[in-house]
Amino acid sequence: MAINIEGLSFHYGAGKNVKQILDDINLTVEPGQITAIVGQTGSGKSTLVQHLNALLLPSGGQVVVGDQVVTSKTKEKALGPVRAQVGMVFQFPENQLFASTVLEDVMYGPKNFGKNDEEAEALAKKALIQVGLKEEFWQHSPFDLSGGQMRRVALAGVLAMDPQAMVFDEPAAGLDPKGQEELLDLLQELKAAQKTVVLISHQMDQVLALADQVVVMQDGRVAAIEAPDQLFLRDRQWFLDHALDLPEPVAFAKDLEDHGYHFDHLPKSVADLAEQIKVQVNWDRVTVPNSLTGGDRDE
Ligand SMILES: Nc1ncnc2c1ncn2[C@@H]1O[C@H](COP(=O)(O)OP(=O)(O)OP(=O)(O)O)[C@@H](O)[C@H]1O
Ligand SMILES: [Mg+2]
């Protein structure tokens, strides 16, 4: 299920207090692809993605989710199907947890969309296993969990509904390295299952490794939409101007280019970078300084 954003603008407030947040956003996200949204803090990333499942309605323009069109005039009762198809894992997962136990929390979505208790429980357990939250926590209050564990519960709550599209707002925040690794695997599984995946991230290594397209936000506008191996070819100053890091292998390659190295393609990983360096180094011609070999001294 594709999602199309067409001429989207959004503001908070009215009259003199109006605060323009998003301006003329045009964007398509496709099934079977991961779209990364990056950009400076306050650039409008979270506000943008809340339009994908009609949590916020456009002030102008429209969002087309599958065959449903959402505009400023869409009535509340028409939004249910949109919300059922687009799952959202929020930036602060504690904001989306509410039930008295973890299991009930994850069961809520499937029950809300018509599953009976037994079916909902089976789906919830499957999702909790999928996100790696140990069974010993299932009867705990979600609010007694750590940040990383809460994030897993929030994730399970969305997976249990099996939506066509999933939006993750900085999902790695609060996860330990193993949790982050598992999350990346999960995103790739969703992509392989032809889901439409949208990911907000400040971690450019993750973006380079995962994304099919990258949307760069700046001051509520789209500054660029490109595949990562195009985007990261831009010069360093552009990334500084947009408050973005470079992925580590890319930053290193750019440093080497300043010293005469040339890279045929953007290194996707450290291993890729190492391979490309290897073919450029002619070991026979490498001169080792005398100071290192100890020979040829003056004294
Ligand atoms: N409820 C609100 N009322 C008024 N302004 C808001 C509201 N929520 C967000 N904003 C403003 O909208 C702008 C965009 O915020 P948003 O949360 O979308 O940024 P972001 O790119 O997700 O930032 P971050 O990387 O810090 O999460 C900010 O200037 C913020 O102050
Ligand atoms: Mg945000």
Domain boundaries, the chain: 3-242, 247-287
Confidence at residue 91, expressed as pLDDT on a 0 to 100 scale = 83
Which residue's CA is the nearest one to ligand 1's atom 3? 12
**Spacing, Cα 83 to ligand 2 middle (Å):** 19
The Cα–Cα gap between 168 and 180 comes to 13
- Decide if 159 contacts 181 (C-beta within 8 A): no
Residue among 45, 91, 198, 216 to mutate when testing ligand 1 (max atoms within 8 A of CB): 45
Confidence at residue 287, expressed as pLDDT on a 0 to 100 scale = 67
Counting from 1 in the atom list of ligand 1, the atom nearest the Cα of 48 is: 18
Q: Can you list the residues of the chain whose pLDDT is less than 50?
A: none
Confidence at residue 292, expressed as pLDDT on a 0 to 100 scale = 67
Confidence at residue 260, expressed as pLDDT on a 0 to 100 scale = 85
Which residue's CA is the nearest one to ligand 1's atom 31? 42
Residue 220: nearest ligand to its CA? 1
Confidence at residue 298, expressed as pLDDT on a 0 to 100 scale = 55
Pocket of ligand 1 contains residue 201 by CB under 6 Å: no
Task: Indicate the pairing of strand 19-29 with strand 68-70.
Answer: unpaired
Which residue's CA is the nearest one to ligand 1's atom 4? 12
Pocket of ligand 1 contains residue 45 by CB under 6 Å: yes
**Spacing, Cα 259 to ligand 1 middle (Å):** 41
**Spacing, Cα 132 to ligand 2 middle (Å):** 25
Phi, psi of 150, deg, nearest 5: -60, -40
Pocket of ligand 1 contains residue 203 by CB under 6 Å: no
Q: Six-digit token pair at 263?
A: 């890279």
Confidence at residue 265, expressed as pLDDT on a 0 to 100 scale = 87
Confidence at residue 94, expressed as pLDDT on a 0 to 100 scale = 78
Which of the following is catalytic: 94, 104, 119, 170? Answer: 170
Which residue's CA is the nearest one to ligand 1's atom 8? 47
Which residue's CA is the nearest one to ligand 1's atom 17? 46
Confidence at residue 128, expressed as pLDDT on a 0 to 100 scale = 96
Q: Whose CA is closest to 70, among 116, 118, 7?
A: 7
Q: What is the 3-state secondary structure (H, E, C) of the chain?
A: CCEEEEEEEEEECCHHHCEEEEEEEEEEECCCCEEEEEECCCCCHHHHHCCCCCCCCCCEEEEEECCEEECCCCCHHHCHHHHHHEEEECCCHHHHCCCCCHHHHHHHHHHHCCCCHHHHHHHHHHHHHHCCCCHHHCCCCHHHCCHHHHHHHHHHHHHCCCCCEEEEECCCCCCCHHHHHHHHHHHHHHHHCCCEEEEECCCHHHHHHHCCEEEEEECCEEEEEECHHHHCCCCHHHHHHCCCCCCHHHHHHHHHHCCCCCCCCCCCCHHHHHHHHHHHCCHHHCCCCHHHHCCCCCC
Q: Please determine, looking at this structure, whether the domain spanning 3-242 carries the CATH number 1.25.60.10.
A: no
Residue 202: nearest ligand to its CA? 1
The Cα–Cα gap between 281 and 226 comes to 31
**Spacing, Cα 71 to ligand 2 middle (Å):** 22
Residue among 46, 92, 199 to mutate when testing ligand 1 (max atoms within 8 A of CB): 46
Does the active-site annotation cover 170? Answer: yes
Confidence at residue 178, expressed as pLDDT on a 0 to 100 scale = 86
Pocket of ligand 1 contains residue 179 by CB under 6 Å: no
